[in-house]
Structure 1
Amino acid sequence: MTDGPVDDAAVLDALFAGSPQGLFLLDGDRKVTRYNPSARGVRALPAEAVLGHYVEDFAPDLGTHEIGRLIDEVLTTGEPLRDRLVRGRSPSEPNRTLAVRVSLFPLRSGPGLVGVVEDVTERQAAADRLAVLSTVHRTVGATLDVQATADALVAALVPAFTDAAAVDLLDDDPAGAAPPSGPLPTS
């Protein structure tokens, strides 16, 4: 514990140096004036690619139309915005899709705002998988109609889990034998 008042600049420096979330300070023109490089999407980017630039410049595929609209909203209304989910491609790893939670807070001392960006990719992927399983649980097997059950399975999986799905239904053997394992004959 300290005996005297805490220096605000020291606190700010500690936040920018040690926060695991991405912190961005934007001026009234929406350009980045300070940021911490711990944010997953900007770790591999040089400072000159971020500082003095619009978010759209260094993160063109990370939901920047939505982020730009949210920044404009906070700058216009002066009201903070918390915990908006945004998905898109990582600025520093274009083959990686990110899910981030964005919070924006206007500055009290003048035009501009602080943005807090938290990478929730793994957590959101788990939630997405759970939502698909929940849909499957709720809809598949709700009826004894085989065709309706197969249709429900496909509807639950496409497009939330996969791009396409097919269900192969085997006729029971009249003699009661189990169907053979392995690939089905084309006949």
Structure 2
Amino acid sequence: MTNPEIAASPQAGALWPQTLVGVGVLLTGLLLAMGAIDISSEAGYGGVGPNFLPWLVSIVLTICGAWIIWEARTGGFRELEAAPDEEPAYWPGFVWVSAGLLLNAALITTLGFILSCTLAYVLAVQGLRRANGQAAANQPRTWLLDCLTGFLISAPVYWAFTKFLAINLPGLTQTGWL
């Protein structure tokens, strides 16, 4: 039985894609939970074991997936603006962001965590700036500020993981600071 208000809405065609996104998120959460079963629950520092974060993420993803499915099946995302038909996807921005992610994965053991994440940040931000039509994307000052911002984000993350949590991340030097 279908709701006549939903069938008459302009977003009625978007309900199945929204539902599929919810199913994908729900399945991701359930698969992560299946993987978390094999992780040791032996308590570490602070009484939290290594399986705590995977379980937390899997529970949150499962709840979010169920919520997305519920939203989609009860009328869809009500605040979602209709996508304009005349504006195609901005593929160069997608290429910039993808290049950042792929180069990070490829160079993290060569450049170290900080520099490879800085590179990923710079390329992703450039893709987003260009997709947004910002004229400043090509200016050297913007590139320099993006590099500095990426470094200021990735360095504390690296130091927090290596110095405080004793989790080994690839570094550029053996000192543990870069």
Larger Rg: 1
Q: Which has the higher helix share?
A: 2
Question: Does the TM-score normalized on the shorter chain lie above 0.5?
Answer: no
More strand by share: 1
The TM-score, its normalising length taken from structure 1, stands at 0.23
TM-score, length-normalised on structure 2? 0.24
| Higher RCO by CA contacts (8 Å cutoff, separation 6 or greater) | 2
